[in-house]
Amino acid sequence: MRRPYILPLVITVVCLALTAGMGVAVVRFYNGYGKSADTTDDKVYDRYYVMITDDHKSSFWTSVYQGAYMRGLENNVYVDWLGGNLSREYDKEDLMRIAIASGADGIIVTADEGEEIAALIDEASAQGIPVVTLYGDNTHSSRCSFVGVGSYNLGREYGRMGLYLLADIIGNKDNERRQNGAKEGAAVQVPDPTESIGAKVTVAVLVNAYASDVDQNILYSGIQETMENEKSTDIELEFVPISIDDTNDFSVEESIRDIFMEENVPDIIVCLDELSTTCVYQAVVDYNMVGDVNILGYFLSDTIANAIDRNVIYATAVIDTRQMGGYCIEALQEYHDLGYTSQYFTADVTVINKNNVAEYLDDNGEESADE
């Protein structure tokens, strides 16, 4: 009896084998497997680590990779950012398969709580390849360590930025009213400064539609609790999570422009990644809402720094990306040398605003190339 499903099954197996084989060839050809891809000498490294991210264009991930790459060189380890220079686009799961097939000594991957990525992490671990999850975790897998940012602490930093923002808005409006009152005569009564921005302030938090609900809920709670519990005025705060489709750059832009097409645009918008920050900044300018919509951003690119300097973005939370990349190498090295490592590494967070952004601009030039 013929079995009609045999031929498709054979074809599928052959295709998978060819894909894996091509992946191995690509990685070995591109990196020389154990040799630096950007040198012509015969230097051989002790270990070969692979870093896998969803995005190869953002300044954030470039900085993380630079931190990992430099720490790797200090330990005679070559770190490859897999996927950025391949001839076609591979998703994160395919890149994981390529890294496993290439026999890498360690994998750094921006994970999520999905079952497929968990299975691939477990597969790598079973083959003796330790995996460090970066920024996004997979708590159900056998990853050896997680390098990221404490979600609640990051939320508190955003909350504090929001409180300073409210105080500045109220203070500025109060000063304007007092100055106007002084011009018109001492008998003019200055209204309550909370009336300057209305009885209620809407705080919109842009959340990733496909990220871990647990981490985002913790971060959201940190923002809300800090602003509600530590505010010094009677202003009512309304917190609104807005889901952003980050499938690609265009979908992010569309999601954010939809916000500005609504009748009631939020008073404060909290951005949790670099792309959202730059898109909101551009939308505020395009819709002529500078001063009406206040932005709390994420990361510090030239664009974001200049926007802070021009009072379009109020402040931004800056993760120590170099430190984050370095921690990934530290975790893998410890695991190889000792057989264990810390379960969590948390990168530092700094707030950059109008008061200290000049230090960044002095180091990088006042005008950015992309402005």
Average pLDDT (251-265) is 94
For 295: left if phi > 0, alpha if psi spans -120 to 50, otherwise beta; the answer is beta
Contact 121, 111 (CB under 8 A): yes
User: Please, what's the b/e burial string for 270-289 (b: 16 or more CB within 10 A of its CB; e: otherwise)?
Assistant: bbbbbbbbbbbbbbbeeeee
Asked whether residue 165 is assigned to any structural domain, the reply reads yes
Beta partners for 325?
A: none
- Tell me: pLDDT of 271 over 50: yes
What 3-state class would DSSP assign to 235? coil
**Of 99, 116, 143, at which residue does a domain stop?**
143
- Tell me: pLDDT of 28 over 50: no
Q: Rounded CA gap, 271 and 296, in Å?
A: 6
Q: Are 139 and 39 contained in the same domain?
A: yes
The DSSP code for 36 is -
pLDDT value at position 22? 47
Total structural domains within the chain: 2
Q: Are 138 and 171 contained in the same domain?
A: no
pLDDT value at position 16? 52
Q: Are 45 and 185 contained in the same domain?
A: no
Q: Between residues 32 and 349, which one has the greater pLDDT?
A: 349
Q: Are 40 and 175 contained in the same domain?
A: no
- Tell me: pLDDT of 348 over 50: yes
Q: Are 97 and 54 contained in the same domain?
A: yes
Provide, rounded to the nearest whole percent, the portion of the chain with pLDDT above 90. Answer: 62
Which CATH number fits the domain that encloses residue 256? 3.40.50.2300
Asked whether residue 342 is assigned to any structural domain, the reply reads no
- Tell me: pLDDT of 347 over 80: yes
Tens-digit pLDDT profile for residues 152-201: 999 999 999 999 998 887 766 555 555 555 444 444 343 444 444 556 89
- Tell me: pLDDT of 207 over 70: yes
Q: Residues for the chain: how many in total?
A: 371
Name the residue range of residue 56's domain.
Answer: 6-143
Provide, rounded to the nearest whole percent, the portion of the chain with pLDDT above 70. Answer: 77
Asked whether residue 191 is assigned to any structural domain, the reply reads yes
Q: Are 293 and 156 contained in the same domain?
A: yes
Q: Rounded CA gap, 73 and 86, in Å?
A: 23
CA distances from 173 to 180, 183, 191 (A): 11, 16, 10
Rounding to the nearest 10 degrees, give the CA dihedral for residues 297, 301, 304, 307: 160
Q: Are 98 and 210 contained in the same domain?
A: no
Q: Are 192 and 292 contained in the same domain?
A: yes
Q: Are 19 and 129 contained in the same domain?
A: yes
The answer to which of 86-95, 294-303, 317-326, 349-358 has the lowest mean pLDDT is 86-95
Nearest to 86 by CA among 5, 162, 30, 9: 30
Q: Are 307 and 197 contained in the same domain?
A: yes
Q: Rounded CA gap, 314 and 184, in Å?
A: 32
Asked whether residue 369 is assigned to any structural domain, the reply reads no
pLDDT value at position 309? 94
Which runs of E-coded beta strand occur in the chain?
47-52, 77-81, 106-109, 131-134, 145-148, 200-208, 236-244, 268-270, 294-298, 313-319, 344-346, 349-353
